[in-house]
Amino acid sequence: MRRSYLGEFEEIVLLTVAVLGEGAYGVAITDELDRQTGRSVSISAVHAALHRLEEKGMLRSHMGEATAERGGRRKRLFTVTVLGSRTLHDIRAVREQLWKAILPHSLPAISL
């Protein structure tokens, strides 16, 4: 396999983990996604995506500290691996290349 395929949602979750840096865990990621994209995502979908990304080797995780509101349970904190980072860069490169290839005015104009 040349490169693991990333779904759109997975890509966004991966990016969000990168955005959050040290404090990336389930609830924080969900909230951040909510804020950044405006879509309401379910926490289970986020967990599933995180799980898959870790299986694919794009994320690494360790258990963090416990807090009272979590009933004394620890968080699982995620960080992007080298592979994850490369994948994100690859995707971005492809996108930019494509954007550059688009002739001016070939996309219909949109008014913001």
Partner 1 sequence: MKCSDSPSSRPPRWADCLLERFCAPHLLEEIQGDLHERFQRNAALLGERSARWHYVREVLSFMRPFAWKRKKEPYSSPSYLNTDMLRNYVKIAWRNLAQNRSFSAINILGLALGMACSLLIFLWIQDEYSVDAYHANGPRLYVVMERQMYDGKTEASPGTPALLPDELKRRFPEIAYAAGLSWEEKHTFAVGDKLNKEKGRSVGADWLRMFTVPLLAGSAETALNAPNNLVISRTLAENYFGSPQAAIGRSIRLDNQQDYQVTAVFETIPENSSLKYDYLLSWQDFLRRNEWLKEWGNHVPQTYVQLQTERNGQPANADRLEAKLKTFLYEVSPSLKKGTFDIHLFLQPFQEVYLHSNYKNGYPDGGRIEYVRLFGIVAVFILLIACINFMNLATARSVKRAREVGIRKVVGAARGLLFGQFMGEALLLTAIALVLALGVVWLLLPVFNELTEKNITLHPNQGTFWITILIITMLTGLIAGSYPALFLSSLNPIRVLKNSLQLGAGARLFRQGLVVFQFVLSTLLIIGMIVIYRQMQYIQTKNLGFDRENLIYLHAEGGVADRYAAFRQELLKSSGIQSVTYMDGTPTNGFGSTGNVHWPGKDPNTNIQFQFSTVDYDFTKTLKLNVTGRDFSPAYGLDSLGYLINKTAARRIGYTDPIGKPLTLWGQQGTIIGIVDDYHMASMHVAIEPLIVKLNPKVSGKTIIVRTQPGQSQEALASLETLWRTFNPKIPFTYRFADEEFQKLYRREMTVGSLTGYFAILAIFISCLGLFGLAAFMAEQRTKEIGVRKVLGASVVSIMSLLSGNFLKLVIIAIVIASPIAGYAMNQWLQDFTYKISLEWWMFAGAGGLAVFIALVTVSFHSIRAALMNPVKTLRSE
Residue 104 found at the interface with partner 1 (CB under 8 A): no
Residues in 12-51 that interact with partner 1 by CB under 8 A: 25-27, 30, 42-45, 47-48, 51
Is the Cβ–Cβ distance between 61 and 77 less than 8 Å? yes
b (16+ CB within 10 A) / e for 60-96: ebeeeeeeeeeeeeebbbbebbeebeebbeeeeeeee
Q: Which of 4, 11, 76, 83 lies at the binding interface for partner 1 (CB under 8 A)?
A: 76
Residue 57 found at the interface with partner 1 (CB under 8 A): no
Q: How far is the CB of 89 from partner 1 (least distance, A)?
A: 27
- Whichever of 73 and 89 has its CB closer to partner 1, that residue is 73
**How many chain residues bind partner 1 (CB under 8 A)?**
22
Q: Is residue 74 within a helix (H) or strand (E), and if so which, with residue range?
A: strand 74-80
56, 58, 71: which is closest to 24 by C-alpha? Answer: 58
Chain contacts with partner 1 (rule: CB under 8 A): 25-27, 30, 42-45, 47-48, 51-52, 63, 66-67, 69-71, 73-76
